[in-house]
Amino acid sequence: MGMVDWPAGEGPRDKLLGKGAEALSDAELLAILLHTGYRDCNALELARKLLGQYAGLDGVMRAQRASLLACTGVGNAKYARLQASLELARRQALQVLCCSDVLSSPNETRRFLQHHLGGHTREVFSCLFLDSQHRVLRCEDLFLGTLDGAAVYPREVAVRALQYHAAAVIFAHNHPSGVAEPSAADRRITERLCAALALLDIRVLDHIIIGRGREYSFAEQGLL
């Protein structure tokens, strides 16, 4: 049964239009994105099955393509709608952040970084390049993989910062394990990056580790 086949006033879409999106459950919101179910299973029932299988909304949205496509009733069109919703949220968060001074908008910075990095299954090292007013010039993913090896090169970070005429930077990377505590390697590479950029008079304002629904700030912990 598709969303258009729900009796008038009874479907999740009608509930959203009448009461607002905040009135809907996770299953109802997900059903709107899925749009259809399959034989003998409507979109809301499919949404509930997926939420149960992946232990909640976060699990569904983080699920890999092959895993979701293996679920009955989920095809490329549904997967594409889920991915589009994630990317729209990320871009909206970035747009809000770009209009702010990141130092006066720590919650917006973290919200964007959760959208940007939270769904990756590999470690991604990103950098927010900022102007002298601490406004975002650019966000760039610089390195992939764990930080234990020679994965992060201060020279490349410095080159990018000069290219964008950055006066300050914020580093961020994710921990796919979900634990937002810094490792010894995280601390070492932060020290190396700070030393390299100090020679260029570029401030490192923070290094934020993104875990599952939580963050760790080097600046807040007095490590910068």
pLDDT value at position 81?
Answer: 94
Contacts of 8-15 with C-beta under 8 Å, sequence gap 24+, read 12/43, 12/44
Length of the chain: 224
Q: How far apart are CA 28 and CA 189, in angstroms?
A: 44
Q: How far apart are CA 47 and CA 53, in angstroms?
A: 10
In angstroms, how far is CA 16 from the centroid of its own chain?
Answer: 25
Indicate whether this model's pTM tops 0.85.
Answer: no
What backbone torsions phi and psi does residue 11 show, to the nearest 5 degrees?
Answer: -85, 165
Among the four given CATH numbers 3.40.640.10, 3.40.140.10, 1.10.3720.10, 3.30.70.240, the one describing domain 101-217? 3.40.140.10
* pLDDT tens per residue across span 57-116: 888 988 889 999 999 999 999 999 999 999 999 889 888 888 877 877 788 898 899 989
* pLDDT tens per residue across span 149-190: 447 789 999 999 999 999 999 999 999 888 889 999 899 999
Sequence ranges of the domains in the chain: 3-74, 101-217
